[in-house]
Amino acid sequence: MRKWSRSMGEQKYRKFIKRSQQEPNVDELFKRVLDGDRMFLSKAITFIESNAPRHEKAAGELMQRLLPHTGNSIRIGITGVPGAGKSTFIETFGLMLCNLGHRVAVLAVDPSSTVRGGSILGDKTRMEQLSKHPNAFIRPSPSGGTLGGVHRKTRETILACEAAGYDVILVETVGVGQSEGVVRGMVDFFMMLAITGAGDELQGMKKGIMELVDAIIINKADGSNVELAKKTAREFKQILHFVQSPTDGWTPRALPCSSLKGTGIKEVWEMIQQFATETKLSGVFESRRKKQAKDWLHALIHERLQKLFFEHAEIKKLMPKMEHQVMNEELTVKGACDQLFSVFNRN
């Protein structure tokens, strides 16, 4: 009996200790993140990703303090269908950059994780070498919640990584749903990894992706595939010529590379550096970042308003009736909307 009660006490004590260790200490987090401490950066991101109110509050304070130390990076978005070679590319490209002395953070936006609760970077075997490099930081996609929520968390994570001294931020996404538009809205340079022989539709061309990209990289240009990859790159280059570029003053490029052999990878980096130099000189780099911050503010307001509306007690009560009347054509949609808003505005 005595043993049982003592062990219960110990359990409680351990829980207490664990909990207090998890409590955010904003001062310490701020200092350690600025020092580039990876463990504390991870901790900070855990608070950023948490939906617990006390974590959200601490993350908010932390982000405000980190803000003056952010922005000093190139943010690169990478998309491509599963199997195009994104993780292999990031491994090779990231390692090259780390060995050049850059500090590389790899993040992900995975729309499927919001449904399944899984993540594209959850698999530890991906980017095995890069994940061991002292200059690299790899963070799986935040799972759960809405795409909007994942969006906010990833944006704040980018800023936290920058404050921790990461100067190349790679944001990976799969070519699914709205994720490409979301990632385009948070990066400076956006590229698609393509492969030869896959149908246009499969590569996302029909979804308007061509209007989002600054470059198309034809991966797997090795072995017997080298010539075909070069030809595909030329074809993409021609198509890109007729598509409105997402970046003023920049004509999107198409380059072949082999992530497996490491060929053409240096050229991708040279192209991105050229892009950064040119757009910084023209002011496009800075104005895009400003616009992205403004758009982010608007997106956040939209999300909050939506939540406020749909979780409003009176609205929740009235909604089923309005839906019923609209479905049975007893009331116009606009009429139902007006009634709902009059209730919302009254309270």
List contacts with ligand GDP (CB under 6 A).
80, 82-88, 219-220, 222, 258-260
Residue number with CB closer to ligand GDP (179 or 259) = 259
Q: Which residue has the tokens 């080298």?
A: 226
**CA 57/CA 34 separation, integer angstroms:** 19
Nearest to ligand GDP of 58, 104 (CB atom):
104
| Least distance from ligand GDP to the Cβ atom of residue 107, Å | 14
Q: CA 104, CA 68: separation in Å to the nearest integer?
A: 20
Burial class of residue 302 (count of CB atoms within 10 Å of its CB; 0-12, 13-18, 19+)? exposed
Nearer to ligand GDP, 176 or 319 (CB): 176
Please, what is the minimum distance in Å from the beta carbon of residue 120 to ligand GDP?
7
CB of 92 to ligand GDP, least distance (A): 8
Task: Give min distance, CB of 276 to ligand GDP, in A.
Answer: 25
Tokens 């970046």 belong to residue:
247
Residue nearest to ligand GDP (CB): 85
| C-beta of 65 vs 261, nearer to ligand GDP | 261
Shortest CB 105 distance to ligand GDP, Å:
17
Question: What whole-number distance in Å separates Cα of residue 36 and Cα of residue 34?
Answer: 5
Q: Is 290 helix (H, G, I), strand (E, B) or coil?
A: helix
Residue in 130, 119, 155, 144 with CA at minimum distance from that of residue 45: 155
Looking at the Cβ atoms of 110 and 214, the one nearer to ligand GDP is: 110
CB of residue 90 to ligand GDP, shortest distance in Å = 8
The distance in angstroms from the start CA to the end CA of the chain is: 56
- What is the H or E stretch that residue 105 is in? strand 104-109
Nearest residue (CB) to ligand GDP, 80 versus 252: 80
* Tally of CB atoms within 10 A around 262: 14
